[in-house]
Amino acid sequence: MALQIVVCVKSTPSNVNIGVDAATGQPKTAGVPTAINPYDEFAVEEAVRLKERVPGSTAVAVTVGAESAVEVLREAVARGCDSGVLVSGPEFEGGDSLATARALSAALRKIHSEKPVHLALFGKNTSDAGAGVVGVQTAAWLDWPDATAVKKIESIDESAATVQRAMEDGVDTLKLSLPACVSTVKEINEPRLPSLKGKMAAKKAVFPKWGAVELGLTPAEVGAAGAGAIVAKASLPPARPAGTRVEGADAAQKAAKLVDILIERKLI
């Protein structure tokens, strides 16, 4: 028994201090450093652990993005993935989760046609858009079973996987027929750091680039044209007002003044 695990990753801004263009109302991402989405690190680690658990298995990373997104594929290989695929082209620009999921599903379908895919892994959400629905939307496009908030993969073979899903009131244990899509949470593992051997392999790796034509899609089905929603305008959260400093000779006097302030503001 050997498995093929595909892990879907995204290149996201590594700097949380992103401004907004006053003229366009859109985030200013030009020139902002990027890195692998933090939540995807757990999905990559789980893909590598499954590969190590089942001898002869492979782990393939896939990303949709600009040419520079190839760096997150190198990061995935450095952490233990065997290969990667870059889905890129101007037609993919401006897509939302729906359009991205459609592109990923087409990539998974193409990989699956060449060698059966058993499991597709996703991080629980991305640090930029944060929708947390790409995994389930990809499963819907493929008509595959899916599970979200997975904290443990108990067992897996070529036909089924048993997983634990974190719930508000406990844990669900589910058995999924394969192939399936699974979105992981950070409790699932502790991501490893890239090894020297992995870094060398990542540096030499060559990644195929697939556009809409290679995926059997039209430009109208992906990117902004295939999006189900648009970001009309973005804005930064309002600045927090300055705090109030309570002065006093000792703790008792400060406490008394604090009570007076709270009463004045009708907070108590």
pLDDT tens for each residue of 88-123:
999 999 889 999 999 999 999 999 999 999 999 999
What is the pLDDT confidence band of residue 1, given thresholds at 50, 70 and 90? confident
- Evaluate whether residue 236 is within a structural domain: no
> pLDDT tens digits, residue range 196-246?
999 999 999 999 999 999 999 999 999 999 998 877 777 777 888 888 888
Shared-domain flag, residues 119 and 208: yes
- Count up the domains in the chain and report the number: 2
Regarding whether 173 and 264 lie in a shared domain, the answer is no
- Supply the pLDDT for residue 232: 78
**Do 105 and 150 fall within a single domain?**
yes
Closest CA to 224 of 95, 64, 87: 95
Q: Above pLDDT 90, what percent of the chain?
A: 71
Could you tell me the pTM of the whole model? 0.85
What pLDDT sits at residue 14?
Answer: 79
Q: Where are the beta strands (DSSP E) in the chain?
A: 4-9, 11-13, 34-36, 58-64, 83-87, 119-123, 146-156, 160-167, 170-177, 180-184, 209-210
Q: Is residue 235 situated within a structural domain?
A: no
Domain extent at residue 265: 242-268
69 in the same domain as 192: yes
| pLDDT in the model for residue 87 | 98
Per the domain annotation, does 233 fall within a domain?
no
Q: Do residue 161 and residue 43 come from a single domain?
A: yes
Residues 118 and 172 in one domain: yes
Residue 237, pLDDT score: 76
Give the pLDDT of residue 175: 97
CATH assignment at residue 53: 3.40.50.620
Q: What is the mean pLDDT of the chain?
A: 92
